[in-house]
Amino acid sequence: MDRDESSYDCSDDEADSLEPSDDCFDEPAVTRHDVGFAVLDEEACLALASKVVEEVSVLLCCGAEVAHSLLRSFKWDRERLIEEYMTDCDACAKTAGIHLGADKSITHSPTEKGIVRVGGVPKTKANLPPIQCQICFEHSTEYSALQCGHAYCNACYCTYAVSKVADEGHGCVYGRCPAEQCHLVLSKALVASLLTDEAHRASLEQFARASSLSRSFVDDNAHIKWCPGADCGKAIQARPGVTGVACTCGTRFCFKCGNEDHSPCSCEDLKRWIAKCKDDSETSNWLMANTKACPKCQTSIEKNGGCNHMTCRNGACKFEFCWVCCGAWKDHLGSFYACNKYDPRTDKDKKKKQDSSRAALERYLHHYARFTNHDNSLKLETEAKVMMEKKVKEMEALGNKAWIDCRFLNEANEALHECRYALKFTYVYAFYLPEKHNFRIHFEMQQMELEKQTEELAEQLERAVEDIDHMKVVNCYHMARKRKHNLFEIVEARHHQEDEGGSSSG
């Protein structure tokens, strides 16, 4: 839930301080004022990955490709890899899909095309006996194998490699030897020796990208994810406990679930909310005006004919009742039009249940309307920001000295964007917060303060560029961020309190 505003592009040296093995990743969480994540470009990813591979290679006395394979299978958790390797190197090698020799030293380079190693002595293609390929069952002297010795004709092995790339995408780097129960993975050298035709160039390039050091460092790393922004190409490295992150391209997302940044609501609540919105939002208003709740299961029922004999379509219910009074149909005998069995107490109970169902729907609509409103405001304000930037550039081009330094406007728009995002998801958080929870009053008060300050900032930024008051805008966005900080702090404090008390969040 924690999100830090001070994200930054990370150089190679700075990135070292955020490596998964660094002490900072041993901390259970970070404070809001710490730098909780870094934005890495491809060069920084490659530099970090190369450093880790080199260190593991030295410690385990193995080649770089072997170290890479081991790290990839352990999600780039260097400490766990070293600890488990020292305990059971055979198990680690099997997990990584690599080969351990008789002396327990690691080998990983594949046999050359048309060469099979028997007892460590290579045989040349000229004196190789033909083998029967276990895929096509044809005899051939043109075959390849990994250290396992499972040999297949080059035509079948090539088709197999191409299909792995096409079917599994990035997962092709985990493609195993075709032999049943063999744990060795296809190596870059073997795939390169097989996919030599021009027709296979695209497959070879895709495999090379998937198995590249920088790509693997992100794809297989628990602490790093690619930015989902269109054509961004950067990655985010986050410390434990950080969920909401922001890339320098402007994209904000949840590091845990990959959806847009939804602080302060949890990933689980967001998932429930998305499902509920899909089910309810399009029909809620119509339901309010045209349906009644089944007296037994509270499912909304539409009356589509003149008959008042209703049957609930809920498969688990099937309750038959009267549309007029909502009483059980079996009690009406033949007098259903008059509904002469009126009982004030029974009627009151039925009305109470119906009112409860309607109240639940109205509560959902309250939160959904405000959620949608802030989402729409985000879109409109993003468009307004583009227009403002254009206007500022025009004024700067005309030599208006008062607008030479317009960085405060960028900062103000960024703050407005942050606060809108937060407000949007405070309504999801509030929806799943129990109505009678003691925390609710405190939360709604902070939510109100943030909403008020955000609207004031939005109003300031909607003015004509030449009419904007510099100091008012600066004060406004500082105060808005302060309000957001306060709201996030009380939510975080509540979660800590509930974790200590062993109770679950609402």
The residue length of the chain stands at 506
What are 237's strand-pairing partners?
38, 224
Q: Residue 281: what are its φ and ψ, rounded to 5°?
A: -60, -35
Q: Which helix (H) or strand (E) holds 193?
A: helix 188-194
**Active-site residue, from 156, 227, 297, 307:** 307
State yes or no: is 307 an active-site residue: yes
| Residue burial 451-482, b: 16+ Cβ < 10 Å; e: rest | bebbebbbebbeeebeebeeeebbebbebbbe
Q: What whole-number distance in Å separates Cα of residue 205 and Cα of residue 198?
A: 11
Cα–chain-centroid distance for residue 111? 40
Q: What whole-number distance in Å separates Cα of residue 489 and Cα of residue 485?
A: 6
Tell me which DSSP letter residue 466 carries.
G
235: Cβ contacts below 8 Å, ≥ 6 apart: 39, 40, 41, 45, 218, 224, 225, 226, 227
What single-letter amino acid sits at 400? N
Q: Which helix (H) or strand (E) holds 430?
A: helix 407-431
Q: Does residue 28 have a cis bond before it (omega within 30 degrees)?
A: no
Q: Cβ atoms within 10 A of the Cβ of 28, count?
A: 6
What are 441's strand-pairing partners?
none
Pick from 153, 164, 156: which is nearest to 187 by CA?
Answer: 164
Q: Cβ atoms within 10 A of the Cβ of 374, count?
A: 19
Q: What is the DSSP string of 290-303?
A: HEEE-TTT--EEE-
Q: What whole-number distance in Å separates Cα of residue 158 and Cα of residue 490?
A: 59
* Active-site residue list: 307
